Structure 1
Amino acid sequence: MSEVPPLRLSTFLPFRLSVLSNAISQRIAELYDREFGLSIWQWRVMAVTADTPGISATEIGQRTQMDKVAVSRAVAGLIEMGYLERRPSEDDARRANLYLTPAGAEVYKLIVPLAKAEEARLVAALSEAEQAELTRLMIKLAQTASPDRDLW
């Protein structure tokens, strides 16, 4: 039997993408954690809820690839902070719809410019052609990784 070559994480694409994603998320997270006391997971739940008012926790998990426990903790924390509210669905008694409260909407409005500024800082390192190529490659990888449904 032949020897299996070692896995070099520094050249393994899934590892590299994960580390890069974590590094980028952490930079932005420092901004909203310091200013607003929000975790990465709480901010993601807020952002998705602002984008899709009335979304369920299950749908948030599907959209963000967050596990159920992380979504549940983030939702509970945001409700406790007064930033999120759960309302029963009129269509399905088993489902609860999530909405930002007025206080949550205000915090969201304060964080969005910070997040967009960080995004602009990151993409400024790339030319317009590189930005377009990165978008094209990300879509291609997303379609390969998840052929049955769009990731975003």
Structure 2
Amino acid sequence: MSKLREERLALQLDHFLPYRLSVASNVVSNLIARTYRQRFNLKITEWRLIAILAESNRMTPQALTKATRMDKINVSRAAKSLIVRQLITSAPNGQDGRSHFLSLTDEGLALYSEIAPQALAMEEKLLRAFSATERSALEELLKRLESAAENEAGGSTFHRPP
């Protein structure tokens, strides 16, 4: 067997961590996205902005880009859609005239208050197969994996502001 063929066979996607993480993420995201889309007419990107703004009160688009790990075009599109739907609002940043702050409107906060319990219930259903110890270990392992990947990329772990 040629060396190239041996190397090609050495990589088996079902055992390749980036592939497995991507598949798991897609399956979970698609399950949850279906609920957001059907019930609330929201895309995953829009829900992420709503959830982070609910936790952080207000943020610049640049900060949202970092916090969501989405590119700025997706953040911008999601923000525009949510502004049109009057779920978030945009206000000038007095310290930086080129920037603005995004925050939830009362309607956006009400929507978050309706969706968040459902998101938590879905998470609980998905994690039923794990013991409390396994859940804790999974959370810790995912944090360490994210940190290792960011360190490898030359970045640092991002923590959302309080």
The answer to whether structure 1 residue 55 and structure 2 residue 55 are counterparts is no
Query: How far 1:149 sits from its partner (Å)?
Result: 2.0
Deviations 1:6-53 (A, max 9, x none): 232222111110111111111111112111100011000111111112
1:77 aligns with 2:81: yes
2:156 aligned partner: 149
Report 1:1-152 matches (<5 A): 2-3=3-4, 5-6=7-8, 7-147=11-151, 148-152=155-159
The one-letter code matched in structure 2 to 1:105 is: L
2: CA distance between counterparts of 1:124 and 1:109?
Answer: 23
The answer to whether the 8 Å contact 1:79/1:85 transfers is: yes
| 1:136 shift after superposition | 2.0
Instruction: Please say if residues 142 and 151 of structure 1, whose CA atoms lie closer than 8 Å, have aligned partners that are also in contact.
Output: no
Q: Point out where structure 2 has 5 or more consecutive residues left out of the alignment.
A: none
How far apart are the structure 1 equivalents of 2:39 and 2:66? 28
Cα displacement (A) at 1:151? 4.2
> 2:4 & 2:39 partners in 1: Cα distance?
52
TM-align CA RMSD: 1.5
Q: Which amino acid in the other structure matches residue 3 of structure 1?
A: L
Number of residue pairs aligned between Structure 1 and Structure 2:
152
Distance 1:23 1:60 in 2: 24
Distance across 2 between alignment mates of 1:18 and 1:77: 27
SS in 2 for 1:146: helix
Does the CA contact (< 8 Å) of 2:93 and 2:99 recur in 1?
A: yes
- Give the deviation of 1:2 after TM superposition: 3.5
Partners of 1:131 and 1:84 in 2: how far apart? 33
AA matched with 2:121 = A
When Rg is computed on C-alpha atoms for both structures, the one with the higher figure is 2
Q: Give unmatched runs, 5+ long, in structure 1.
A: none
Contact 1:31 1:114 in 2 (8 A): no
